[in-house]
Amino acid sequence: MLSTLIADFRIIFDRDPAARNWLEVLFCYPGLQALLFHRFAHQLYRWRMPFIPRLISHIARFLTGIEIHPGAAIGCGVFIDHGMGVVIGETAIVGNYALIYQGVTLGGTGKQSGKRHPTLGENVVVGAGAKVLGNLQIGDNVRIGAGSVVLRDVPSDCTVVGVPGRIVYRSGERVGPLEHGRLPDSEAQVIRALVDRIEALEQQLKVLQPAKPQPLPEPILVSVSGSDEAEAIANEPEFDHATACRLRDKVIEEFLNGSGI
Protein backbone atom coordinates (compact mmCIF):
# COMPACT_ATOMS: atom_id res chain seq x y z
CA MET A 1 0.00 0.00 0.00
CA LEU A 2 2.87 2.38 0.73
CA SER A 3 4.18 2.19 -2.85
CA THR A 4 0.66 2.91 -4.14
CA LEU A 5 0.34 5.99 -1.92
CA ILE A 6 3.73 7.25 -3.12
CA ALA A 7 2.62 6.81 -6.74
CA ASP A 8 -0.61 8.72 -5.99
CA PHE A 9 1.47 11.53 -4.51
CA ARG A 10 4.07 11.77 -7.29
CA ILE A 11 1.62 11.68 -10.18
CA ILE A 12 0.15 15.01 -9.04
CA PHE A 13 3.42 16.82 -9.83
CA ASP A 14 3.46 15.26 -13.31
CA ARG A 15 -0.10 16.21 -14.22
CA ASP A 16 -0.85 19.44 -12.37
CA PRO A 17 1.31 22.50 -13.15
CA ALA A 18 -0.18 24.24 -10.09
CA ALA A 19 1.45 21.71 -7.72
CA ARG A 20 4.49 23.55 -6.33
CA ASN A 21 5.54 21.80 -3.13
CA TRP A 22 4.78 18.63 -1.18
CA LEU A 23 3.19 20.44 1.75
CA GLU A 24 0.61 22.11 -0.51
CA VAL A 25 -0.20 18.84 -2.25
CA LEU A 26 -0.55 16.92 0.98
CA PHE A 27 -2.91 19.34 2.72
CA CYS A 28 -4.70 21.15 -0.13
CA TYR A 29 -5.49 18.46 -2.71
CA PRO A 30 -8.84 16.79 -1.93
CA GLY A 31 -8.29 14.15 -4.61
CA LEU A 32 -5.22 12.84 -2.82
CA GLN A 33 -6.95 13.02 0.56
CA ALA A 34 -9.97 11.10 -0.75
CA LEU A 35 -7.68 8.37 -2.07
CA LEU A 36 -5.89 8.15 1.27
CA PHE A 37 -9.22 7.59 3.02
CA HIS A 38 -10.30 5.11 0.35
CA ARG A 39 -7.15 2.99 0.50
CA PHE A 40 -7.70 2.45 4.22
CA ALA A 41 -11.47 1.89 3.89
CA HIS A 42 -11.00 -0.51 0.97
CA GLN A 43 -8.64 -2.69 2.98
CA LEU A 44 -11.18 -2.91 5.82
CA TYR A 45 -13.90 -3.68 3.23
CA ARG A 46 -11.85 -6.58 1.89
CA TRP A 47 -11.61 -7.93 5.45
CA ARG A 48 -15.45 -7.83 5.49
CA MET A 49 -15.56 -5.44 8.41
CA PRO A 50 -19.11 -4.05 8.75
CA PHE A 51 -20.07 -0.36 8.97
CA ILE A 52 -16.58 1.11 9.54
CA PRO A 53 -15.55 1.24 5.83
CA ARG A 54 -18.78 3.03 4.86
CA LEU A 55 -18.34 5.44 7.76
CA ILE A 56 -14.82 6.30 6.58
CA SER A 57 -16.15 6.80 3.05
CA HIS A 58 -18.87 9.10 4.39
CA ILE A 59 -16.37 11.17 6.37
CA ALA A 60 -14.16 11.47 3.28
CA ARG A 61 -17.13 12.65 1.26
CA PHE A 62 -17.93 15.31 3.86
CA LEU A 63 -14.33 16.57 3.91
CA THR A 64 -13.46 16.38 0.20
CA GLY A 65 -16.72 16.34 -1.78
CA ILE A 66 -15.60 13.06 -3.39
CA GLU A 67 -17.66 9.91 -2.84
CA ILE A 68 -15.83 6.62 -3.37
CA HIS A 69 -17.51 3.43 -2.21
CA PRO A 70 -15.06 1.35 -0.17
CA GLY A 71 -15.71 -1.60 -2.48
CA ALA A 72 -14.31 0.19 -5.54
CA ALA A 73 -10.89 -1.02 -6.73
CA ILE A 74 -8.58 1.84 -7.66
CA GLY A 75 -5.12 1.32 -9.14
CA CYS A 76 -1.92 3.17 -8.35
CA GLY A 77 -1.01 6.61 -9.67
CA VAL A 78 -4.64 7.71 -10.02
CA PHE A 79 -5.16 11.48 -9.93
CA ILE A 80 -8.55 13.02 -9.10
CA ASP A 81 -8.14 16.68 -10.11
CA HIS A 82 -10.22 19.11 -8.01
CA GLY A 83 -12.69 16.27 -7.51
CA MET A 84 -15.82 18.00 -6.24
CA GLY A 85 -18.85 15.90 -7.12
CA VAL A 86 -16.93 12.78 -8.20
CA VAL A 87 -18.89 9.56 -7.50
CA ILE A 88 -17.33 6.10 -7.89
CA GLY A 89 -19.61 3.11 -7.33
CA GLU A 90 -19.10 -0.07 -5.37
CA THR A 91 -18.05 -2.43 -8.16
CA ALA A 92 -16.13 0.13 -10.22
CA ILE A 93 -12.54 -0.67 -11.20
CA VAL A 94 -10.15 2.16 -12.07
CA GLY A 95 -6.87 1.23 -13.74
CA ASN A 96 -3.41 2.60 -13.03
CA TYR A 97 -2.60 6.24 -13.80
CA ALA A 98 -6.15 7.26 -14.61
CA LEU A 99 -6.98 10.97 -14.59
CA ILE A 100 -10.43 11.94 -13.32
CA TYR A 101 -11.79 15.48 -13.27
CA GLN A 102 -14.53 17.04 -11.16
CA GLY A 103 -18.16 15.99 -11.54
CA VAL A 104 -17.38 12.56 -12.96
CA THR A 105 -19.73 9.65 -12.20
CA LEU A 106 -18.71 6.01 -12.53
CA GLY A 107 -22.14 4.64 -11.74
CA GLY A 108 -24.68 1.94 -12.42
CA THR A 109 -27.92 1.90 -14.40
CA GLY A 110 -30.20 -0.14 -12.16
CA LYS A 111 -30.61 -2.09 -8.96
CA GLN A 112 -29.16 -5.36 -10.20
CA SER A 113 -26.62 -7.10 -8.00
CA GLY A 114 -23.12 -8.15 -8.99
CA LYS A 115 -20.82 -6.16 -11.27
CA ARG A 116 -22.82 -3.08 -12.22
CA HIS A 117 -20.22 -0.31 -12.49
CA PRO A 118 -17.63 0.43 -15.19
CA THR A 119 -14.10 -0.89 -15.48
CA LEU A 120 -11.49 1.63 -16.62
CA GLY A 121 -8.20 0.55 -18.15
CA GLU A 122 -4.83 2.19 -17.66
CA ASN A 123 -4.06 5.83 -18.55
CA VAL A 124 -7.74 6.67 -19.01
CA VAL A 125 -8.74 10.36 -18.92
CA VAL A 126 -12.31 11.18 -17.89
CA GLY A 127 -13.20 14.83 -18.51
CA ALA A 128 -15.16 17.09 -16.19
CA GLY A 129 -18.82 16.18 -15.78
CA ALA A 130 -18.58 12.95 -17.79
CA LYS A 131 -20.84 10.02 -16.85
CA VAL A 132 -19.84 6.40 -17.41
CA LEU A 133 -22.82 4.23 -16.53
CA GLY A 134 -23.22 0.49 -16.29
CA ASN A 135 -20.96 -2.55 -16.37
CA LEU A 136 -18.80 -1.21 -19.20
CA GLN A 137 -15.28 -2.01 -20.31
CA ILE A 138 -13.22 1.10 -21.05
CA GLY A 139 -9.93 0.22 -22.71
CA ASP A 140 -6.45 1.56 -22.10
CA ASN A 141 -5.47 5.09 -23.19
CA VAL A 142 -9.09 6.15 -23.71
CA ARG A 143 -10.08 9.81 -23.40
CA ILE A 144 -13.65 10.68 -22.48
CA GLY A 145 -14.56 14.28 -23.30
CA ALA A 146 -16.06 16.65 -20.75
CA GLY A 147 -19.82 16.26 -20.35
CA SER A 148 -20.00 13.01 -22.31
CA VAL A 149 -22.35 10.19 -21.33
CA VAL A 150 -20.86 6.77 -22.05
CA LEU A 151 -23.31 3.85 -22.24
CA ARG A 152 -21.33 1.32 -24.29
CA ASP A 153 -17.95 -0.39 -24.15
CA VAL A 154 -15.02 1.58 -25.51
CA PRO A 155 -11.96 -0.09 -27.09
CA SER A 156 -8.43 1.03 -26.32
CA ASP A 157 -6.69 4.04 -27.88
CA CYS A 158 -9.70 6.10 -28.89
CA THR A 159 -11.71 9.12 -27.80
CA VAL A 160 -15.36 9.39 -26.76
CA VAL A 161 -17.36 12.60 -27.08
CA GLY A 162 -21.02 13.62 -27.00
CA VAL A 163 -24.34 12.56 -25.49
CA PRO A 164 -24.60 9.65 -25.86
CA GLY A 165 -20.86 9.13 -26.23
CA ARG A 166 -19.60 8.43 -29.73
CA ILE A 167 -16.26 6.77 -30.42
CA VAL A 168 -13.77 8.74 -32.49
CA TYR A 169 -10.57 6.93 -33.40
CA ARG A 170 -7.24 8.80 -33.41
CA SER A 171 -5.02 6.14 -34.93
CA GLY A 172 -1.40 7.03 -35.46
CA GLU A 173 -1.47 10.16 -33.32
CA ARG A 174 -0.45 10.34 -29.70
CA VAL A 175 -2.18 13.11 -27.74
CA GLY A 176 -1.16 14.21 -24.24
CA PRO A 177 -3.69 13.52 -21.46
CA LEU A 178 -4.06 17.20 -20.60
CA GLU A 179 -4.71 18.45 -24.16
CA HIS A 180 -8.49 18.66 -23.90
CA GLY A 181 -8.60 21.40 -26.55
CA ARG A 182 -7.73 18.82 -29.21
CA LEU A 183 -10.79 16.66 -28.74
CA PRO A 184 -12.44 15.98 -32.11
CA ASP A 185 -15.96 17.28 -32.70
CA SER A 186 -17.92 14.64 -34.59
CA GLU A 187 -21.13 16.69 -34.73
CA ALA A 188 -19.42 19.62 -36.43
CA GLN A 189 -17.78 17.29 -38.94
CA VAL A 190 -21.11 15.71 -39.85
CA ILE A 191 -22.81 19.09 -40.19
CA ARG A 192 -20.00 20.39 -42.38
CA ALA A 193 -20.28 17.30 -44.59
CA LEU A 194 -24.03 17.88 -44.97
CA VAL A 195 -23.50 21.54 -45.85
CA ASP A 196 -20.88 20.61 -48.46
CA ARG A 197 -23.29 18.06 -49.91
CA ILE A 198 -26.07 20.64 -50.19
CA GLU A 199 -23.74 23.08 -51.93
CA ALA A 200 -22.71 20.39 -54.41
CA LEU A 201 -26.37 19.60 -55.16
CA GLU A 202 -27.09 23.31 -55.69
CA GLN A 203 -24.28 23.50 -58.25
CA GLN A 204 -25.67 20.48 -60.10
CA LEU A 205 -29.13 22.01 -60.08
CA LYS A 206 -27.84 25.21 -61.66
CA VAL A 207 -26.29 23.20 -64.49
CA LEU A 208 -29.53 21.32 -65.14
CA GLN A 209 -31.74 24.41 -65.10
CA PRO A 210 -32.92 25.77 -68.51
CA ALA A 211 -31.28 28.87 -69.95
CA LYS A 212 -34.35 31.00 -69.26
CA PRO A 213 -34.46 31.69 -65.54
CA GLN A 214 -37.59 30.61 -63.77
CA PRO A 215 -39.27 32.89 -61.24
CA LEU A 216 -38.22 31.98 -57.74
CA PRO A 217 -40.80 31.61 -55.01
CA GLU A 218 -40.81 34.23 -52.35
CA PRO A 219 -38.28 33.16 -49.69
CA ILE A 220 -39.50 32.30 -46.23
CA LEU A 221 -37.29 33.56 -43.45
CA VAL A 222 -37.56 31.81 -40.11
CA SER A 223 -36.82 34.32 -37.43
CA VAL A 224 -34.29 33.05 -34.90
CA SER A 225 -34.93 34.19 -31.37
CA GLY A 226 -32.58 37.00 -30.45
CA SER A 227 -31.48 37.64 -34.07
CA ASP A 228 -32.33 41.31 -34.70
CA GLU A 229 -30.29 41.25 -37.90
CA ALA A 230 -32.48 38.57 -39.46
CA GLU A 231 -35.66 40.51 -38.69
CA ALA A 232 -34.18 43.72 -40.09
CA ILE A 233 -33.24 42.03 -43.39
CA ALA A 234 -36.68 40.44 -43.65
CA ASN A 235 -38.33 43.84 -43.39
CA GLU A 236 -36.25 45.36 -46.21
CA PRO A 237 -38.35 46.08 -49.32
CA GLU A 238 -35.71 44.68 -51.68
CA PHE A 239 -35.23 41.41 -49.83
CA ASP A 240 -34.44 38.71 -52.39
CA HIS A 241 -33.18 35.17 -52.65
CA ALA A 242 -29.50 36.18 -52.68
CA THR A 243 -29.95 38.04 -49.41
CA ALA A 244 -31.57 34.98 -47.87
CA CYS A 245 -28.63 32.85 -48.99
CA ARG A 246 -26.15 35.27 -47.45
CA LEU A 247 -28.07 35.22 -44.20
CA ARG A 248 -28.24 31.44 -44.25
CA ASP A 249 -24.50 31.17 -44.84
CA LYS A 250 -23.79 33.56 -41.98
CA VAL A 251 -26.02 31.61 -39.58
CA ILE A 252 -24.35 28.33 -40.56
CA GLU A 253 -20.88 29.82 -40.15
CA GLU A 254 -21.71 31.19 -36.72
CA PHE A 255 -23.13 27.82 -35.75
CA LEU A 256 -20.07 25.89 -36.92
CA ASN A 257 -17.69 28.29 -35.21
CA GLY A 258 -19.66 28.40 -31.95
CA SER A 259 -18.23 27.09 -28.69
CA GLY A 260 -20.91 24.41 -28.48
CA ILE A 261 -20.11 22.95 -31.92
pTM equals 0.68
Letter string b/e over residues 45-61, b meaning 16 or more CB atoms within 10 A of that residue's CB? beeeeeeebbebbeebb
* Angstrom distances, CA of residue 113 to CA of 50, 67, 109: 19, 20, 11
pLDDT at 187: 64
Q: What is the mean pLDDT of the chain?
A: 80
Residue 197 DSSP one-character state: H
User: How many CA atoms are closer than 13 Å to the CA of 230, on its beta-carbon side?
Assistant: 16
User: How many CA atoms are closer than 13 Å to the CA of 189, on its beta-carbon side?
Assistant: 8
Full set of structural domains in the chain with CATH: 2-182 (2.160.10.10), 186-256 (no CATH)
What is the identity of the amino acid at 86?
A: V
pLDDT one-digit tens code per residue, 207-252: 887 766 656 666 555 554 545 555 555 555 454 556 656 656 665 6
pLDDT one-digit tens code per residue, 18-43: 888 888 888 989 999 999 999 999 99
Q: How far apart are CA 229 and CA 29, in angstroms?
A: 49
CA 179 to chain centre: 13
pLDDT at 261: 37
Res 132 pLDDT > 80: yes
Give the count of beta carbons closer than 10 Å to the beta carbon of residue 206. 8
